[in-house]
Amino acid sequence: MSTKPSIASSAFSRRGFLGFAAAAASAPLLAACGGGSASQGGGGAGGTIKFWDMPWATPAYNDAAKKLAEGFSGSGSKASYQIIQWNNFYQTFSSAIASKTGPAVSTGGGFQAFQFEQQGQIAYADKVIDKLKENGQFDDFLPGVLDPFKSDKGYVAVPWQLDMRVFWYRKSLFEKAGVGLPTDWPSLLEAGKALKKVGAFGFTTGAGAGNNYGNHSMIMMMVNNGGGVWNKDGELDLMNDRNVEAMEFVLELVSNGIVDPAAVSYTTDNMSAQWKDGKAGFGLFQVNVPQRVGDTSGDLLVADPITGPHGDKATIVFPNNIMMYTNTPSQEASEAFLVYYLGQLKELWRQKLMSALPVFKSITELPEFANDPNNVKIVKDWQPIAKTFAAQGKTLNANLAALDGGQALNQFSQTILTGKADAKTALQTFQSGLESVLKK
Amino acid sequence: MALTTAQSGLSRARRGVAPGGPGGPANRKSKLSAQTSRTFFWLLLPSVILLVLIHGYPLIHAGVQATHDGSLIQTGNFVGGENFATVLSSPAFWKAAQFTLMFTIVGVFGSWLVGLGLALLLRTKIPAGGTFKVLLLLPWVVPIVVSSTAWNWLVATPDSLIPSLFRNLGLGTPLFLADPNLAAITVMVFKVWVSFPFMMMMISAALASVDTTVYEAASMDGATRWQQFSQITLPLIARSTYISWILMTIFCVNDFPTIYLLTGGGPVSATTSLVVLAYRTVFQDFATGPGVAIAFLMTMTLVVISVLLYRQIRKSSVE
């Protein structure tokens, strides 16, 4: 017995179907090449400076930053404020810039200014620096924070905060484990073994969806051993002995169960939960961890920097910056806005809204900042040894964007955290992956 | 029969054939056709313009990007098929293609089987059937961001609910998202869970149109339950099945959030599908040309699959 529908489908024609199928099938194409979500008009028509900012902290941060930006009035201009979400932010900026609807001034990804400079979209900030020299703010910069932004053609952007990676520890877990704080790699290994016995992890990290801390941990350990992704000339140098040694050490931590075996899949929320729930004894994290994870009991503290086997001490830092674009109603107004905004930044730290270090000494001296011993320790002990992703190199560049959060680094971190390959093989794969995406 | 006659009438009307057959007055027919053509043209024009703008332009622009070496802002130099060659010679592409194939097969047939089973169950009288139906629709209705977060809570850490259950049952502590094989399985199961309500609805709608007297007649003829299912139910819902397979194939191949939100494509690219690879290539590696080339290859593959399945639909439409 065979019973099939007998009504021929006149409504379901071949042409109609193909049109439907083509439209549905073309979704990945449209998604891949489609424009971003930016919809506002030009680079600030009517003399309004469009300032785009990222959600750097809680929504309260954005409210405060909006208030600061909209308080600008100079060079016959005003400023508007718009939040751009981190998801697809590069697409949002790119498509807006391409359609001349982008901002005049913005914060953004750590290496975004260099990416857009390469494409002729960035207005250099040399005149802003001159004005900062005039008003005294130039001398207020912490040492070394401005230098990475100076290219052959001028200052690509101006730093406004430092997103630093430092080691944190939970004091009570170390007491429970009866072990001292790590000062070097061997003592880090020993502390990790002791913490494991009390059910905690001695190298807390995560490399799951949207979590870059695993990536940062790997680069930090390389840099901490005097290595890094690039050499002093900015050339790729992943296979150096210091990197191999650093990754062999991390693999030793993994094989000893000092790294959570599930860490490879942890989101930042999973990782924060580890810290809050007392599973994390020691590990790399950002500034203001107690506030972030919701434990301000004083049990979470910043550790001392550890020394590598060759006597090196270093961590990594992302000097986040504010950049100006060539598409502006008035370059003079863009510059005036940037000088104004830099002068207002202290309010954000005064209101304790930031999860990052300031770039100005005067802000580090604010009571609201300086009363937190963790902040003081980071500025005193970690900031002087912090290096950018350029590591041995002195200036930032667009290639660093392909490293930061790119597929090659993420796969490398996950490979190491799963302990599935030896250090040299993993580094070799990392090097090949990075080479394939770097601009020649 | 009445339906066939009505459809025939509709069909003739669409062809511009006057009632009474092709032998109607020729001058009236041509006058009507000319008017109809003009009306059709003006009615269709806005849609055509919109389609060209929202589909045509991005497609052409994507074609340009796939054959150039620039960025999202600057097109760069023409490189011909170099981006396609780069992509096709990349092991990452083939690994992602392999995962996409597995993900799609499991997603389509897994959700179809679960959907079919539940659709058949819902035909029977069960207590609180309405509430049950609503609950079954939840995975499809809940935003994917919410459900992926919920699944993360359930499986991500050794202390999450499901690994804890396994541990308490003495089955070890599986790391569902950290082990490459388990992560791939978890993502596929998640996809089936998210998708089965859609299949269930499609099949339920098809089953609703089946005349129950057919089953009564089959019972009287001595057909077993299995014979009724395989010889009546499946053939009667064949067209709906093929259509749902086409749609689900497209949904699976193009599915970005299910994978990206749960695993980000990891660990070690174990769950990286082609659409995730395309996204990461364009927006994380900033390699626009190769990324768009991946999207082009996906589109072409989907069109071929869709056409093949469409032929099946046409076959199933023939007596």
* Predicted confidence (pLDDT) per residue in A393-412, tens digit: 877 888 888 898 789 999 99
CB B57 within 8 A of CB B263: no
CB proximity list for B7: less than 8 A, separation 6 or greater: A7, A10
Give the pLDDT confidence score for residue B134 in this predicted structure. 86
CA distance A117 to chain B (A): 12
E strand intervals along A103-155: 105-106, 122-123, 150-151, 154-155
CB A185 within 8 A of CB A289: no
Give the pLDDT confidence score for residue B30 in this predicted structure. 58
* Predicted confidence (pLDDT) per residue in A340-360, tens digit: 999 999 999 999 999 899 999
Q: Is the dihedral of CA A409, A412, A418, A419 positive or negative?
A: negative
Q: Which of residues 342-381 of A touch B (CB under 8 A)?
A: none
Name the residue type at position A411.
Q
Q: Which residue of B has its CA nearest to A432?
A: B90
Residues of chain A found within 8 Å of residue B261, distances taken between Cβ atoms:
209
End-to-end Cα, chain B, rounded Å = 15
CB proximity list for A17: less than 8 A, separation 6 or greater: B306, B310, B313
Q: Which residue of A has its CA nearest to B210?
A: A5
Encode burial over B235-253: b for 16+ CB neighbours within 10 A, e otherwise: bbbbbbbbbbbbbbbbbbb
The span from the CA of A56 to the CA of A353, in Å, is: 9
The span from the CA of B158 to the CA of B166, in Å, is: 10
Distance from the Cα of residue A129 to its chain's centroid:
24
Q: Quick check: ipTM above 0.85?
A: no
Give the pLDDT confidence score for residue B32 in this predicted structure. 64
Q: What is the 3-state secondary structure (H, E, C) of chain B?
A: CHHHHHHHHHHHHHCCCCCCCCCCCHHHHHHHHHHHHHHHHHHHHHHHHHHHHHHHHHHHHHHHHHCECCCCCCCCCECCCHHHHHHHCCHHHHHHHHHHHHHHHHHHHHHHHHHHHHHHHHHCCCCCHHHHHHHHHHHHHCCHHHHHHHHHHHHCCCCCHHHHHHHHCCCCCCCCCCCHHHHHHHHHHHHHHHHHHHHHHHHHHHHHCCCCHHHHHHHHCCCCHHHHHHHHHHHHCHHHHHHHHHHHHHHHHCCCHHHHHHCCCCCCCCCCCHHHHHHHHHHCCCCHHHHHHHHHHHHHHHHHHHHHHHHHHHHHHCC
Q: Is the dihedral of CA A154, A90, B65, B271 positive or negative?
A: positive
Is there a contact between B55 and A1 if contact means CB atoms under 8 Å apart? Answer: no
Residues of chain A found within 8 Å of residue B302, distances taken between Cβ atoms:
21, 24-25
CA distance B32 to chain A (A): 22
* Predicted confidence (pLDDT) per residue in B164-200, tens digit: 999 999 999 999 999 999 999 999 999 999 999 999 9
Q: Which residues of chain A fall short of a pLDDT of 70?
A: 1-46, 439-440
Confidence band, pLDDT 50/70/90 cuts, at residue B4: very low
The span from the CA of A396 to the CA of A146, in Å, is: 11
Q: What is the mean pLDDT of residues B68-79?
A: 87
Alpha carbon separation from B208 to A7, B20, B296 (Å, rounded): 16, 36, 39
Candidate from A2, A98, A420 with C-beta closest to B235: A2
Count of pairs with CB atoms under 8 A, one residue in A, one in B:
217
* Predicted confidence (pLDDT) per residue in A9-66, tens digit: 334 444 444 444 444 455 555 444 443 333 343 444 448 999 999 999 889 999 999 9
Q: Which of residues 73-102 of A touch B (CB under 8 A)?
A: 88, 90-91, 94-95, 97-98
Q: Structure tokens of A37?
A: 């979500």
Q: Is A266 on the interface with B (CB under 8 A)?
A: yes
The span from the CA of B296 to the CA of A28, in Å, is: 8
Query: Quick one: CA torsion of A422, A423, A424, A428, rounded to 10 degrees?
Result: 100
Residues of chain A found within 8 Å of residue B210, distances taken between Cβ atoms:
none
Quick check: B28 pLDDT over 80? no
Give the pLDDT confidence score for residue B52 in this predicted structure. 86
**Residue A404, helix vs strand vs coil:** coil
Largest separation between any pair of C-alpha atoms in chain A: 93
Candidate from A24, A91, A265 with C-beta closest to B72: A91
Which residues on adjacent β-strands are paired with residue A122?
A: A325
Q: Which residue has the higher pLDDT, B14 or A289?
A: A289
Distance from the Cα of residue B276 to its chain's centroid:
17
Residues of chain A found within 8 Å of residue B47, distances taken between Cβ atoms:
none
CA distance A14 to chain B (A): 8
Q: What is the mean pLDDT of residues B97-124?
A: 94
Candidate from B7, B253, B267 with C-beta closest to A265: B267
CA distance B127 to chain A (A): 32
| Total-model pTM | 0.83
CA distance A418 to chain B (A): 8
Alpha carbon separation from A337 to A160, A340, B137, B179 (Å, rounded): 14, 5, 52, 50
Residues comprising chain A, all counted? 440
Is there a contact between A3 and B274 if contact means CB atoms under 8 Å apart? Answer: no
Give the Cα-Cα-Cα angle B136, B140, B144 (nearest 5 degrees).
135
